[in-house]
Amino acid sequence: MDAAQVVDYGMLALIPPILAIGLAIWTKNIIVSLFISIIVSTTILNGWNPIVGFTSMIKDYMFVSLEDSMNTQALFMMVIIGGFVALLTQSGGAMAFTDMVTKKVNTRAKCEGGIWLGGLFVWFTDNGNSLIVGPIFEALAERLRVSREKFAYILDCTTSPICAMIPIIGWGVYAMSLIETELEVAGIHEVTSWDVFMQAVPLNFYAILTLLMAGIMAFTQWDYGPMLRAQNRAMKTGETLRAGGTPMRSETKKLELPKGVTPKIYTMIVPLVVLLVVMFSYLTAKGLWYTKVAGTDIRTAIASGFLCATLVLIAICVKEKIYDFNKCLSIITGGMSNMMFMCVVLVLAWSLSGVTKAIGTAAYLTEISQGLLNPALLPCIVFAIGAVMSLATGTSWGTMAILMPIALPMAITFGVSLPLISAAIISGSLYGDHCSPISDTTILASIGSACDHIDHFETQIPYATTVAVICLAMFLVAGWNPTPLMTLVAIIVLIAVIFTLHKIYVKKYGHEKDLVKA
């Protein structure tokens, strides 16, 4: 593995992402696609020896990805959440919540708007967001015929894009640490990494436009492209999941409570309150509101909250004679086992990330594009490079780690705005993290909505690319005149573009109107 890192593989460095994405689209099987991509790549890394490549895949990448404490914490967290979600669903609380909320949230647009607002509320985690918000709205979304594709899109939009603008959580801490390194190397002391990051927030066009677009698409139903077809299918036939589609987790079966048991909303509300109280109490003790909180502490808070909520939910189920203790444990372990598919996908995705680093995918993309860099064009080009790199590797943090040490020194040398360049790097990194089929947040959005993963990717990428194209234009203009007013211009352009695209595709596919449920 060490020898592989010093070899220049040239165009072969593009094989891992191209193979993974291409096979995912062709086979519509994410596990097979990731597995083949990894084993082909490790074979290349080991002198084209498939036997050594196979064992290297396991030893040097799969095992190594599980040795990473952040990854193991994430897997543990997902398993705990899976058990809680299963019992919460089977307790009848979600059913009671759906019955109550449907009296007010009685249209698909209102339901999608609720999912969006819920995602904005869970701003403190990109990995946990979809798994917290998704199950809460699952039954309601099914009843109001929200396609799984649209459900997954909204969940995905409220993960990394919002976290990328918060300085006191893992995203902000990581980005500022990269910025701080370059400021120290350049001997700049009059501004801090906090100053650069915070000034970059209003110029983070991709994050802002993605969050806004998700809300607009939810409340206005201005869908277009493959998403419009999916929404029409769900509204017309009631099939929220495409026929033949494979959801990323087991779908909730029709709930059958024990005879004489009536669903009560407090069986859902009380555990969720406990979840939030425990989570935010821990984070507050760690200084959430006035300092930077480590990613380990955030994951600890989430896991602690879900564990406590699960214990409270078990007590409620036993007290209300919904299930006895042993039945509760059976449901919880069943929910945990349903998360195994997701765990396998995440391990493969992490392994592929290691492979792309070893074979030099990001470095190669950077190398072939360096000749294009120009002071005025720097923000636009950096954004484009970051978008391609993050789409190919499925990692935003890895993309930032490569581009920050290259683009920030150039910006300092050429006198280009550091907040603008930082915003361009973060925005470009977000594009792939948001929509790449091998990105963990994209995978988790599919899990949270119980959507077919490739369906989520194919319907989301036109929306994400619409935002990316507008961002490209904005960074091009901002290279000459960087100002936060560009964000307002970008918003106006976005609204005009999606409205026009909606009208064009309605003529092509028609538009099934939202039905009001009594």
**Structural domain for 140, as ranges:** 69-165+257-339
Residue 108 forms part of a structural domain: yes
Residue 477 to residue 474: CA distance in whole angstroms: 5
For the chain, what percent of residues have pLDDT higher than 90? 35
Of 320, 339, 358, the position where a domain reaches its end is 339
49-53, 103-107, 478-482: which is most confident? 49-53
Q: Which pLDDT value is given to residue 366?
A: 64
Looking at the fold, whether 45 and 172 belong to one and the same domain comes out as: yes
Residue 356 to residue 279: CA distance in whole angstroms: 35
Per-residue buried b or exposed e for 83-99, using 16+ beta carbons within 10 Å of the residue's own CB? bbbbbbbbbbbbbbbbe
For 439, phi then psi, to 5°, come to -85, 140
- The crossing angle, in degrees rounded to 10, of helices 453-478 and 378-393 is 170
Looking at the fold, whether 271 and 334 belong to one and the same domain comes out as: yes
Of 314, 339, 364, the position where a domain reaches its end is 339
- Beta carbons within 8 Å of 117's beta carbon, 6+ residues apart: none
Looking at the fold, whether 333 and 399 belong to one and the same domain comes out as: no
Q: Write the pLDDT tens digit of every residue in 354-376.
A: 887 788 876 776 677 556 556 77
Residue 299 to residue 297: CA distance in whole angstroms: 5
Global pTM?
A: 0.71
Residue 170 forms part of a structural domain: yes
Looking at the fold, whether 347 and 419 belong to one and the same domain comes out as: yes
SS3 of residue 66 by DSSP: helix
Confidence class of residue 460 from pLDDT cuts 50, 70 and 90?
A: very high
Residue 309 forms part of a structural domain: yes
Q: Which pLDDT value is given to residue 250?
A: 63
Looking at the fold, whether 401 and 299 belong to one and the same domain comes out as: no
Residue 233 forms part of a structural domain: no
CB atoms within 10 A of CB 300: 17
Looking at the fold, whether 331 and 357 belong to one and the same domain comes out as: no
Looking at the fold, whether 349 and 434 belong to one and the same domain comes out as: yes
pLDDT at residue 452 is higher than 80: yes
Q: Write the pLDDT tens digit of every residue in 394-423.
A: 778 777 877 787 788 878 877 889 999 999
pLDDT at residue 50 is higher than 60: yes
Top pLDDT among 93 and 351 is at 351
Confidence class of residue 251 from pLDDT cuts 50, 70 and 90?
A: low
Residue 218 forms part of a structural domain: no
129-138, 163-172, 286-295, 454-463: which is most confident? 454-463
* Least confident stretch, 172-176, 201-205, 265-269: 172-176
Residue 213 forms part of a structural domain: no
Number of domains the chain contains: 2
Confidence class of residue 344 from pLDDT cuts 50, 70 and 90?
A: confident
82, 285, 289, 317, 495 from 297: Cα distances, Å: 20, 10, 14, 30, 38
Q: Which pLDDT value is given to residue 353?
A: 74
Contact yes or no for 473/268 (Cβ under 8 A): no
Looking at the fold, whether 372 and 451 belong to one and the same domain comes out as: yes
Looking at the fold, whether 133 and 192 belong to one and the same domain comes out as: no
Residue 225 forms part of a structural domain: no
Looking at the fold, whether 500 and 352 belong to one and the same domain comes out as: yes
Of 284, 306, 339, the position where a domain reaches its end is 339
Residue 475 to residue 482: CA distance in whole angstroms: 8
pLDDT at residue 159 is higher than 90: no
Mean pLDDT, all residues of the chain: 84
Q: Which pLDDT value is given to residue 52?
A: 94
Mean pLDDT over 294-316 rounds to: 86
Residue 215 forms part of a structural domain: no
Looking at the fold, whether 458 and 353 belong to one and the same domain comes out as: yes
Q: Which pLDDT value is given to residue 178?
A: 78
Looking at the fold, whether 374 and 494 belong to one and the same domain comes out as: yes
pLDDT at residue 126 is higher than 80: no
